[in-house]
Amino acid sequence: MTFGKYLGTYIGLLLLTGLTFGLSFVSVGGWEWPLALGIALVKAGLVAAFFMHLVEMSAAHRLAGAAAAVLLAILILLAVADVATRPEEELGPAIHTAPFERDHAARTGRGE
Amino acid sequence: MAEPVEHAAHFESAERQGQAATLGMWVFLASEVLFFGALFVIYAAYRTREPRAFAEAVAENTFWWGSGNTLVLLTSSLFIALSVHMLRSSRARAACWLVGATVFLGMLFLGIKSYEYVEHFRHGIYPGGQGQWFADQPRAAAMAAFWTLYYLMTGLHALHVIIGVLLLSVIGWCVARRRVTRLAPQALENGAMYWHLVDIVWLFLWPCFYLTNGGA
């Protein structure tokens, strides 16, 4: 790694930050959140590869880093797929933020 | 720089010891990722269930302060990476100053974050969905879920920033006293890795809680 590479990584991160920032002013419907997370993933990759020197490390190190990312991606994708594909009646009428939910509904007459 | 490089007896060489320390740090960071990951799973499930309420809640957040904090953390990440670079090229004094700059930016981040919390409290937005502000919301339960996750996840992240600031302060002191040097840079390298992970977590918190506001 050279000084220039660190600076280049930083500029790349700033550009992607600007891109996500700009996207928050545009309406892209349901793709907004996955898109923003995708850009964040690229930024995280840049930080891990260059700032954390993953590019110059052994395969064992890269495997440890990649394992965390892949396992987490599987966990999130399956959780989202579960919630998104279940019929409405199985999920119930609203989010339950137990134990607050019950008190809240009692006090305000809403929330359910 | 002719001093001998010491290493523990159960390692063949200082190089091997260094590699083991780095690998150990990566495994620790991977466990941290899964720790934060579980919270992101909860967020993802709730957001999938109530996409509009979550977008509305994001639009309520302190957008400019949170975005400013992203720049603060990204810049601090550059500084600590450069600090490792400087120490590796035997410029201990520059490395020391860069650690100091990172610590300063970490504290600036915490200052801005505290200000944001105070602003939320002033509006009546508390964790757990208590109070009149939530009672006035059309989707009170979803709003309570969003803001409770917000306090939990950014609070946990802020705790990591506090730990990072303390850790880097000690390491910076060790660099100044020549206890961490070009030949034994592990402490600074691992401290920097921890700081980068804290930065990476924020890179995901930022779009989840500040940016994805439905284009509002």
Kindly compute the dihedral angle of the four CA atoms of residues B11, B15, B19, B25, in this order, to the nearest 10 degrees.
90
Residue B170: predicted pLDDT: 97
Cis peptide before A99 (omega within 30 of 0): yes
Cβ-contact A39, A20 below 8 angstroms = yes
Could you report the predicted ipTM of this complex, rounded to two decimals?
A: 0.90
What number of CA atoms fall less than 13 Å from residue A43's CA on the CB side? 33
Instruction: Judge: A95–B145 Cβ closer than 8 Å, yes or no.
Output: yes
Instruction: Judge: B34–A71 Cβ closer than 8 Å, yes or no.
Output: yes
Collect all residues of chain B within an 8 Å Cβ-Cβ radius of residue A6: 78, 81-82, 85
> Is the CATH number 1.20.120.80 carried by domain B14-211?
yes
Q: Is residue B205 predicted with pLDDT exceeding 90?
A: yes
Among A27-36, A52-61, B82-91, the range of highest mean pLDDT: B82-91
Instruction: Enumerate the domain spans of chain A.
Output: 1-56, 59-112
Cβ-contact B185, B19 below 8 angstroms = no
Tell me the pLDDT tens digit for each residue of B112-136: 999 999 999 999 999 888 888 988 8
B179 touches chain A (CB under 8 A): no
Tell me the pLDDT tens digit for each residue of B52-77: 899 999 999 999 999 999 999 999 99
A85 touches chain B (CB under 8 A): no
Collect all residues of chain B within an 8 Å Cβ-Cβ radius of residue A24: 63, 207, 210-213, 215
Instruction: Enumerate the domain spans of chain B.
Output: 14-211
Band the pLDDT of A67: cuts 50, 70, 90: confident
Band the pLDDT of A93: cuts 50, 70, 90: low
A46 to chain B: closest CA residue: B200
Instruction: Judge: B37–A52 Cβ closer than 8 Å, yes or no.
Output: no
DSSP secondary structure code for residue A82 in this structure: H
**% of chain B beyond a pLDDT of 90:** 68
A16-41: average pLDDT:
90
Beta-strand ranges (E) seen in A8-93 are none
| CA nearest to B28, candidates A50, A55, A76, A61 | A61
Instruction: Judge: A57–B22 Cβ closer than 8 Å, yes or no.
Output: yes
Q: Please state, in angstroms and rounded to a whole number, the distance separating the CA atoms of residues B103 and B71.
A: 15
Q: Is residue B7 predicted with pLDDT exceeding 60?
A: yes
Q: What's the pTM value of the predicted model, to 2 decimals?
A: 0.90
Q: In whole numbers, what is the pLDDT of chain B averaged over residues?
A: 92
